[in-house]
Every structure is written in C-alpha cells, then in structure tokens.
Amino acid sequence: MVSCDLKKPLCKGIIVSKEQETKNIELLLFSPINLIMLLDILYLVASVNLFLFVNQYSLNIFYNIDI
C-alpha cells in the first residue's frame, strides 16, 4: 500500500474537489449526445401520442365508436 500525503502533488489529483465534481455532472447532463437522446425520446413520445390521437379520431369518424 502507498501512503498518500496530501501535500504531494501526485495525491492532490486523486481527490476531486466539489467544484470539479459539479462541473463533471454538468458536462454529463448537457453533453450533445445526451441532448440528442433527450430530443429523440421527446419526439418518440410525441409521435406515439399523435398516432393514438389520429387512431381515436379516425375510429370515431368511420365507425361511430366512442372511446
């Protein structure tokens, strides 16, 4: 085991400061890939809702069925 003295420059890099931690979390949350995935999920939900709405509307027109 290696004893770690906080005054040594090598050991300072191991401990992540709270500010750096929040920066890392922000980078994870707002990275372009995550934003694209979020938009993709929102698009999927919207298209499914639109599909269900159109289906219900067409059923009401053509078959006079109340849902």
Residue 41 forms part of a structural domain? yes
The arithmetic mean of pLDDT across residues 46-61, rounded, is 78
As for how many domains the chain has, the answer is: 1
Confidence at residue 31, expressed as pLDDT on a 0 to 100 scale: 74
Residue 31 forms part of a structural domain? yes
User: CA 48, CA 58: separation in Å to the nearest integer?
Assistant: 15
Residue 39 forms part of a structural domain? yes
The arithmetic mean of pLDDT across residues 2-6, rounded, is 55
Residue 2 forms part of a structural domain? no
- pTM metric for this prediction: 0.41
Residue 33 forms part of a structural domain? yes
The boundaries of the domain holding residue 21 are 17-63
User: CA 35, CA 28: separation in Å to the nearest integer?
Assistant: 10
The arithmetic mean of pLDDT across residues 31-60, rounded, is 81
Residue 53 forms part of a structural domain? yes
- Determine whether 13 is exposed, middle or buried from the number of CB atoms within 10 Å of its CB (0-12, 13-18, 19+): exposed
Residue 1 confidence (pLDDT) above 70: no
Confidence at residue 36, expressed as pLDDT on a 0 to 100 scale: 84
Residue 52 confidence (pLDDT) above 70: yes
